[in-house]
Chain A
Amino acid sequence: MGTTLGIGSSLWAAGGGEHHGLSWLGMMVYIALVLGIVFFALSRAKQDFGQRVFKGFWSQLLEQVYLFIENLCVGIIGAHGRKYIPFILTFWLVIFVSNVVALFFPTSPTADLSFNLGVALIAIGYVQWEGMKANGVLGHFKHFAGPKLPPALLLISFMIFIIEIISEVMKNVSLSLRLFGNIEGGHQAVVAMNNLGGSFVPVGFLLMPIKILTCIVQALIFSLLTCVYLSLVTHHEDDHHHDEAGEPAGHSEAQPAAAH
């Protein structure tokens, strides 16, 4: 695949074998691209800082992106999800830009399983860290053992613990494999369609709409699942808040019953 574009073929590893991923230089160029987008957004947003509403085209567009991620975080995690917005927004930006890069170039970071596994490890590791911060280290591991069972069923709890640990590890695999499979599968489909059209007709171009849809949905799903995992490990804290907030209402309902 690396030979279709003559220039800059050192941006992706053109070597034989199974590996079609980026080279180090390509990865650096990609990181520079994402950082450029971030700094562009910051510079545009800074121009509109003094005004009451955002008037510039770019700042309005980026505000919509921010609101989209904010809705995702607050809608799934709850009110305390606001502090995860930078984290989720970074993931969304990196994965979305990488997916869009895949539309124009022979390869992209997310069409490489190593990059996806790295991103997924960061995401799941951060989820563990947040779980330990919310519930304490022991509380976080107790959370794996499922509901509280009587001592006679200790073996069941232990088995639940093992299965939960395995599923926690598999979360990395599932996050990375899903992204890799969708993007790389799209590439393979385009290659197959191009072979179908012979040397002159690029039939694979007809797959462009569904590939754009895949790009958007996969970036969304990665951020969404990270949000869901975060909400799963931190929602105990939220439950306590609900209990405390619910107690006065419960008392006011209980008092008339007691008066009768």
Chain B
Amino acid sequence: MTGHVFGLGIGLAAMGVAIGLGLIGYSAMQGMSRQPEAIGKIQTAMLIALAFVELVFLLAVFVLPGSLKV
């Protein structure tokens, strides 16, 4: 049973994080195409935001099994 819950949780986390990463990439690309001279700054901020969103999925992968005691 917990295995099923774990799989569903991983799937949901992956979906949410994918949406978040897509939004970051979308707006960063839009910003870069509008202001090509600001590419360096936008890329830095984009990478930071990307790292924080990605962490949510890693937390789900590594912390959820521990909390469910699979």
Contacts and interface: CB of A to CB of B under 8 A. Distances in A.
B40 interface: yes
B48 A225 contact: yes
Interface of A: 71, 75-76, 174, 177-178, 181-182, 185, 217, 220-221, 224-225, 228
Contact of B47 (A71, A174, A177, A224): A224
Interface bracket on B: 10 to 19
Interface in B22-54: 40-41, 44, 47-48, 50-52, 54
Nearest to A221: B51
A177 B62 contact: yes
Contacts, number: 36
Given A174-B55, A221-B51, A225-B51, A181 B61 contact: yes
A18 B61 CA distance: 15
A73 to B, nearest CB: 12
B14 to A, nearest CB: 12
Contact of B48 (A181, A185, A224): A224
B18 interface: no
A182 B55 CA distance: 10
User: Shortest 7 CB-CB distances between A and B: which pairs?
Assistant: A181-B58, A221-B51, A174-B55, A178-B55, A177-B58, A221-B47, A224-B47
A228 B54 CA distance: 17
A228 to B, nearest CB: 6
Contacts of B61: 181, 185
B54 A178 contact: yes
Contacts of B47: 217, 220-221, 224
Nearest to A72: B44
Contacts of A220: 47
7 contacts: A76-B44, A174-B52, A174-B55, A177-B59, A177-B62, A181-B57, A221-B51
